[in-house]
Amino acid sequence: MSGRLAGKLAVVTGAASGIGAAIARLFTREGAQVVGIDLHPASIDGVELLQGDITDGPAMQAAIDGILARHGRIDVLVNNAGADVFSDPLQLQEEQWQRCFALNLDGAWRLCRAVLPGMVAQQAGAIVNIASVHGHKIIPGAFPYPVAKHALIGMTRSLGIEYAAHGIRVNSISPGLILVPRIEAWFEREPGARERQTALLPPRRIGTPEEVAYTALFLASDEARFINATDILIDGGRSQVYHD
């Protein structure tokens, strides 16, 4: 590998599986020292994995404080942790609404707020938020998840502008259909779903976590030093199709 993140300390949430694990592994191969945070941590070679709940603000602040105490700096934050919350709007319970935003917006904000003072002090840093194609296009039956992902993209753009003069870049990635464990489980539950979904995608294949990870690598690296407050779609062009 080329060492595109050599000498950098990266924090990745939701790092134990799926897109988060792919990012943690790739960042490690590219020279970063990676600390992962996950509710259910698992072993990944070369990655320091911590158990943590992104909805617990004090715990996340303590985790970041501990990382700074051990390593001295944080150069990259990837807010990957999140979860689907889908419901009929009129059947949605208050606790479901709160859970959706706690997992898909508030957690990312808590981590941003925890790392930003250190990044401001060192006048450098990159934050990458993992949003979703749901933040661009509305899929019926997916409420209120798209509301939170639209907000996450808005937060990305706002923070990117607020801290640009401090050498900090804040960008997001919006994956479409990606072969993560929950999607594989869905395909197992519903025979034919894989084939139907594949046929909808212009490349006639489903994306992989590694393809999202390479985009995160680019945004985290100095190669993207003039890219800020931007969202990148990774959906094979699906969101550009007007009608099937």
Sorted by sequence, the CB contacts under 8 Å of residue 140 that are 6+ apart come out as none
Query: 140: burial class by Cβ within 10 Å (0-12, 13-18, 19+)?
Result: exposed
Query: 181: burial class by Cβ within 10 Å (0-12, 13-18, 19+)?
Result: exposed
Tell me which residue has tokens 């105490």.
69
- Choosing from 145, 163, 214, 242, which is the catalytic residue? 145
Q: What angle do CA 178, 112, 72 make, to 5 degrees?
A: 110
Tokens of 93: 């319970």
Q: Using an 8 Å Cβ cutoff, are 82 and 110 in contact?
A: no
Active site residue 145: yes
Which amino acids are annotated catalytic? 145
